[in-house]
Structure 1
Amino acid sequence: MLLYKSFLESDPLLFHPCLPKPKSGMDSDTDESGRRKSGRRNPFKQLEQLRARADAATDGVNFAREEDNSLETMRGRLSKVLKRYEDLKDHMSRDSDKMVYERLLKDFEAARIAQTEEILLDGEQWNDGLLATIRERVHMEADRKAMGQTSMPFDPHFNEKPSYRIGNKVLFCLEGSRIGIQYETSFAGEPCETFHCVLESKSFLEKMSVIEHTIPFFLPIKEAESDFLSSNAMKFIDYVGALLQSYVDRREQVRLIKELYGNQIGELFHSLTYNLIEFVLDDFDCKVTVSLRYADLVSILPSRIRVLAWPVHPSKKTSITDKKGIGAAVAQSSPSRLSYAEDALRTMSLPEAYAEIVLNLPQVLQQIFPHVGSDGR
Structure 2
Amino acid sequence: DSDKLIFERLQKEFEAARVAQTEEISIDDEQWNDGLLATIREKVHIEAERKAMVNLANIPTDSQFQSRTTYRIRNKVIYCLDGARIGIQYETFFAGEPCEIYHCVLESKSFLEKMTVTEHTLPFFLPIREVETDHLSSNAIRFIDHLEEILQSYIDRREQVRLIKELYGNQIGELFYSLPYTLIEFTLEDFECKVTVSIRYSDLILTLPSQARVLAWPLRSAKRISAADRRAQPVPSRLSYAENALKTLSLPEAYAEIVLELPRALKQMFYSQESD
Q: For residues 92-107 of structure 1, what are the structure 2 equivalents within 5 Å?
A: 95-107=1-13
Which of 32, 38, 41 is matched with 1:132 structurally?
Answer: 38
Three-state SS of the structure 2 residue aligned to 1:273 is: coil
C-alpha distance after superposition, 1:176-210 (max 9, x if no partner)? 10100000001000000000000000100000001
The answer to whether residue 43 in structure 2 is matched with residue 142 in structure 1 is no
Q: For residues 1-377 of structure 1, what are the structure 2 equivalents within 5 Å?
A: 95-148=1-54, 156=64, 158-314=65-221, 325=228, 330=232, 333-370=234-271
C-alpha spacing 1:160/1:357, structure 2 compared with 1 (3 Å): same
Three-state SS of the structure 1 residue aligned to 2:213 is: strand
Counterpart amino acid of residue 28 in structure 2: D
C-alpha separation between the residues in 1 aligned to 2:191 and 2:123?
A: 41
C-alpha distance after superposition, 1:295-315 (max 9, x if no partner)? 111110000111111111338
C-alpha separation between the residues in 2 aligned to 1:205 and 1:297?
A: 32
Three-state SS of the structure 1 residue aligned to 2:195 is: strand
* Contact 2:193 2:222 survives alignment (8 Å): no
Counterpart amino acid of residue 334 in structure 1: V
C-alpha separation between the residues in 2 aligned to 1:294 and 1:319?
A: 39
Give RMSD over aligned pairs.
2.4
C-alpha spacing 1:218/1:173, structure 2 compared with 1 (3 Å): same
C-alpha separation between the residues in 2 aligned to 1:319 and 1:357?
A: 26
Structure 1 gap ranges (5+): 1-94, 373-377
Three-state SS of the structure 2 residue aligned to 1:279 is: strand
TM-score, normalization by structure 2: 0.92
* Contact 1:311 1:369 survives alignment (8 Å): no
Counterpart amino acid of residue 252 in structure 2: P
From the CA coordinates, give the structure whose radius of gyration is larger: 1
Aligned length: 271
Three-state SS of the structure 2 residue aligned to 1:206 is: coil
- Residue 364 of structure 1 and its aligned partner are, at CA, apart by 1.0
* Contact 1:344 1:356 survives alignment (8 Å): yes
C-alpha spacing 1:164/1:256, structure 2 compared with 1 (3 Å): same
- Residue 160 of structure 1 and its aligned partner are, at CA, apart by 2.3
* Contact 1:178 1:199 survives alignment (8 Å): yes
* Contact 1:97 1:214 survives alignment (8 Å): yes
C-alpha spacing 1:294/1:281, structure 2 compared with 1 (3 Å): same
* Contact 2:92 2:101 survives alignment (8 Å): yes
- Residue 152 of structure 1 and its aligned partner are, at CA, apart by 9.2
- Residue 284 of structure 1 and its aligned partner are, at CA, apart by 3.1
* Contact 2:54 2:61 survives alignment (8 Å): no
Counterpart amino acid of residue 110 in structure 2: S
C-alpha separation between the residues in 2 aligned to 1:319 and 1:371?
A: 15
Counterpart amino acid of residue 365 in structure 1: L
Counterpart amino acid of residue 136 in structure 2: L
C-alpha separation between the residues in 1 aligned to 2:102 and 2:226?
A: 59
Query: Which one has the bigger helix percentage?
Result: 1
- Residue 367 of structure 1 and its aligned partner are, at CA, apart by 1.1
C-alpha distance after superposition, 1:7-58 (max 9, x if no partner)? xxxxxxxxxxxxxxxxxxxxxxxxxxxxxxxxxxxxxxxxxxxxxxxxxxxx
TM-score, normalization by structure 1: 0.68
Three-state SS of the structure 1 residue aligned to 2:186 is: strand
Counterpart amino acid of residue 330 in structure 1: A
Query: Which one has the bigger strand percentage?
Result: 2
* Contact 1:284 1:365 survives alignment (8 Å): no
C-alpha spacing 1:371/1:227, structure 2 compared with 1 (3 Å): closer
C-alpha separation between the residues in 1 aligned to 2:24 and 2:253?
A: 37
